[in-house]
Structure formats: C-alpha cells, structure tokens
Amino acid sequence: MTRILTDTPSLISYSAVGGRSEGEGPLGDYFDSINDDEYFGKDTYEQAESELQKEAVNIALEKAALKEKDIDIIIGGDLLNQCVATSFAHRDRAVSMLGIYSACSTFTEGLILSGIMTSEGYAKRAMNVTSSHYYSAERQYRMPIEYGGQRAPTTQRTVTASGAVICESSDKAPYLRGFTLGKIIDMGVDDAANMGAAMAPAAYDTINSFLKESGKGLDDFDNIITGDLGSIGSDILYKLFDMDGIDIRSKHLDCGKLIYDTERQDVHSGGSGCGCAASVCCGYILPKIQSGELQNVIIAATGALMSPTVSFQGESIPSISHLVWISHQRG
C-alpha cells in the first residue's frame, strides 16, 4: 500500500544513541551519545534498553528545544517480549502512547504512522522511537552472552542502539513524502541464524511496490537504503533485482552493513535490531538529507517476524518491509 503524504510533514528533530560496539564502528562519531556501559547505569539489560529509548527521546526533545508536554503522542516498539523496553521507558511520561511491533522494520512503521498523524492533524507533534540491545536480545532469542555460544557466520549482531524522530507539519527539511506499508513475505527460509536471507525478498517486494505504485524510478533517488539485511541479505537483494535486469548496487546502502566494520568487528554478517535502522538513519542519513547532500532517499527497514517458540516448532520466517520516502525538498 503506497501513499503520498498530503501535507508533507517535517522530521524536525532526531537523535541516535548507541553502545560501545556501535561507538567503535564506522559511524561512531555520528551518534549523539555513546555509552560504554552495557547496563546504561541500570541493574538489568531490559532496564538498560529502556534507558536507551529515554535518552534518545530526551535528546530529540532537547535538540528541538521542546518539552515532553509539546509531544502529543509517542509511537514506539522494540524486540523484547511484549515490547517492555518501550512501555517501561515511557511509563512516567504524561504522553499518549501507541505501541507497534514489526520486528526490525518497526522504525519505518512508526515513521509512517507519525507522518499520517501529523499530516492529517491528529497530532501536532509525534515522537517515533525504537530500540534494541545486544544483551537483552541475545538472552531472549538465543543464549545469555555469559554462555559463550558460538554463532553461525550468517548471523547478525543485534545492535545496542535507539533512534528517535519528532515529526511535525513544518517548513524544515528533511520531509517525509510518502510510504509503502509492506506485505508479509515468507519464502520458506527457516534458518533463524540467517535472517538476512529471510528478509531480502520482503525488501525486494516493498521496494518494487513503491516504485510501481508511486510511478518513480531508481534514478529519482540518491540512495536505496535497507534496514538490516547485512552482507548476505544484501547480496540476495542484488540477485533478486538482477533477475529483473536492474542493478541497484551503486545506489544501495544497508544500515546493518554501515553500522559495523564487518572486517574489524566480530559481527559476522552485520547489524540488526529495531535500533539498527533507527540509529543509522537518525545519526547518519537524516543529517545528510537535511543538509541537501542527499536529495531523495527511500528507506526500507526489514523485519523477521518469528519468535523462538515458532522457530523451535520448525516454522519458516515470515518477513516484512515498510518503506519511507524522505526528501530534502517539500515537493
């Protein structure tokens, strides 16, 4: 489902917060804040992840000289069971809360809802925030880090990061121009240690839907950015487009590949998690669109919609990708 936003809301402020590994990565200097303590000063990894979200929201507010009361709604989600990182992060805020879940594509789903809410006047300002945390995710999805389990070369590292964006109908780049809400795609991949492979067909389907339904071409965009396909998923995406005679390699960036140095850092196929696309876009991509260095990009975050329970039951991995078109010009 592709739509153009009628009132073209602005992304008036945004922030990226990360952990130690993210700070040591190639984008380390682009984060607003890096915390070397994986606990973020708290007692548990779950509390640490909530702290990540709190900090991202607070920095985004500060950068826009806004207070919590200036926000009508927080739209957020994360990877933890029952999205507790999000709920606990904002339980003391007197702001309406809209909980969403779309695995690692939650960030763009939230941007889409922020855009609709502000474009149509339901909210003056909407805050979109997502997060993930390596330690809370590992012990929930796989094994506690302390166990020292060996990871397959196809795996991706869940990033410890959060990104927050404030959306408002305003006259300031970057602008949220349109979106595609993706369909669930399940090509039968059942290897939970190779989520890039499971998600690549969803990214392909959503990017194609957007181009077809918006009447745009690849030439209209400086970059085609995916959420967290990693090295393996990105290669599959190239091959899917190759079959249509389209080479997207020169325009393509993947947040999961950008956030780490896969040669130097022990991250296998790259980064993933609700905080991956969020922090890379908020720290690295949106500033370039704001400055005009990039004029038009599409960001197709990708999510693998499985749980450990259904993986144990031998199920394949349904995947989804939600896309946003962000522009330096209002259009």
Least distance (Å) from a second copy to the CB of residue 25? 26
DSSP secondary structure string, 56-85?
HHHHHHHHTT--GGG-SEEEEEESSGGGHH
Least distance (Å) from a second copy to the CB of residue 86? 9
Q: What is the binding site for a second copy (CB under 8 A)?
A: 1, 3, 43-44, 46-47, 72-73, 77, 79-84, 87-88, 90-103, 106, 109, 113, 116-117, 120, 122-123, 140, 180-186, 305-310, 313, 315, 318, 320
Exposed e or buried b for every residue in 231-269, given b needs 16+ CB within 10 A? bbbbbbbbebbeeeeeebeeebbbbbbbbbebeebebbb
Q: Which is nearer to a second copy, 7 or 235 (CB)?
A: 7
Q: Which is nearer to a second copy, 10 or 47 (CB)?
A: 47
Exposed e or buried b for every residue in 270-284, given b needs 16+ CB within 10 A? bbbbbbbbbbbbbbb
Instruction: Show the tokens assigned to 147.
Output: 């166990």
Element (H, E) at 124: none
Instruction: Show the tokens assigned to 172.
Output: 């300031």
Q: What is the rounded distance in angstroms from the CA atom of residue 144 to the CA atom of residue 122?
A: 42
Least distance (Å) from a second copy to the CB of residue 96? 4
Least distance (Å) from a second copy to the CB of residue 42? 11
Q: Which is nearer to a second copy, 44 or 329 (CB)?
A: 44
Least distance (Å) from a second copy to the CB of residue 243? 20
CA-based nearest residue to 255, from 213, 292, 291, 299: 299
Least distance (Å) from a second copy to the CB of residue 119? 8
Q: Which is nearer to a second copy, 49 or 254 (CB)?
A: 49
Q: Which is nearer to a second copy, 308 or 331 (CB)?
A: 308
Q: Which is nearer to a second copy, 20 or 42 (CB)?
A: 42
